[in-house]
Amino acid sequence: MGCKESEVIFTSGGTESNNTAIKGVAFQYQNRGKHIITTQVEHPAVYDVCKQLEGLGFAVTYLPVDREGRVSVEAVQKAMRPDTILVSVMHVNNELGTIQPILEIGQWLKQFPKVLFHVDAVQGIGKVPLRIKDSGIDLLSVSAHKFYGPRGVGILYKREGLIIHPLMMGGGQEGGVRSGTENLPAIAGMAKAIRILEELGSVEMIRLQKLNQQLREGIATMEGCVVNTPESNTAPHIMNLSVPGVKAEVLLHALEEKGFLISTKSACSSKVNEPSRVLTAIGIERDCALSSLRISLGRENTPDDIQQFLKALEECVSVLRTYIKQQPAPAHRK
């Protein structure tokens, strides 16, 4: 991670890391100000925390994003206030795969040393390069299972010298920031997973980019299928698509029966009949958003997997659309 050992705090995962970072700053520096800047497309582990803080008297600005789900540095600049204490922007969007301009935002924020910069890097770590020190990041969240480590363990990077309010009190572990006995077996497993990431280097990312392109080209040939993930400046392991007119949950289960496991929205949040907040933010219409699926690519996937998935997708969409057309129109009251 390019940081000191003392800057690493072990947590139970990305959710705890995000909560500790955001609430820790809010409670520690509320006498300085109570304004927080974030975006409309953050993971619930950030977005819902900010909503909770609003109920506690904090003011939160949710920055809009462009059609590709990307926030601009100019938007951050315009949102800054004298009472701003924190800017929190995710590295890679968990639904679209969009990469945010973390380096540019962080470098601009360096002129405001009292405004802290938090980055949710859960989806990007090990997949999209990120220079913590160069980007002026004060706090950064990581979850081990996103790079094949154990579930239930993560990291909160906290810049040396930075003080935040601890959420968990007790034995004073992790420098007093996160009390509680450390899960050593999980931490060791996470360390091993990080070493494997280093060994793989950029080779795996290049391989995933090729699979992503194969998937995108295949979907482009299917009538009525729309890729929501932008073509450039995105992570190679995430693809979001919509099949308007076909409910996402129905298509998801149809594909599952053919041996393909995909998801709707975030894997951590999938309220039925509610369109994705992220897709709504980029201007996707409700019907299209309700039919969206997220495809995640990993180390074990092959070009043959992509080919088989495309075949299964086309078959499932065809069957479901035929079924929908055969359904009688709903009766209307006179």
Q: How far apart are CA 309 and CA 305, in angstroms?
A: 6
35 with 26: CB under 8 angstroms? no
Number of H helices and E strands in the chain, helices first, is 10, 10
* 3 state SS of 62: strand
Number of Cβ atoms within 10 Å of the Cβ of 82: 7
Number of Cβ atoms within 10 Å of the Cβ of 252: 18
H or E, element range at 197: helix 184-200
List, in order, residues 6 or more apart from 52 with CB less than 8 Å away. Answer: none
Is 50 one of the catalytic residues?
Answer: no
Q: How far apart are CA 226 and CA 206, in angstroms?
A: 24
- Strand ranges inside 175-301, DSSP E: 226-227, 238-242, 292-296
Q: Taking Cα atoms as reference points, which of 70, 87, 69 lies closest to residue 78? A: 87
Give the active site residue among 3, 225, 268, 316: 268
* Helical ranges in 80-132 per DSSP H: 102-109
- Cα torsion 112, 114, 120, 125 to 10°: value is 70
H or E, element range at 29: none
Q: Which residues are catalytic?
A: 268
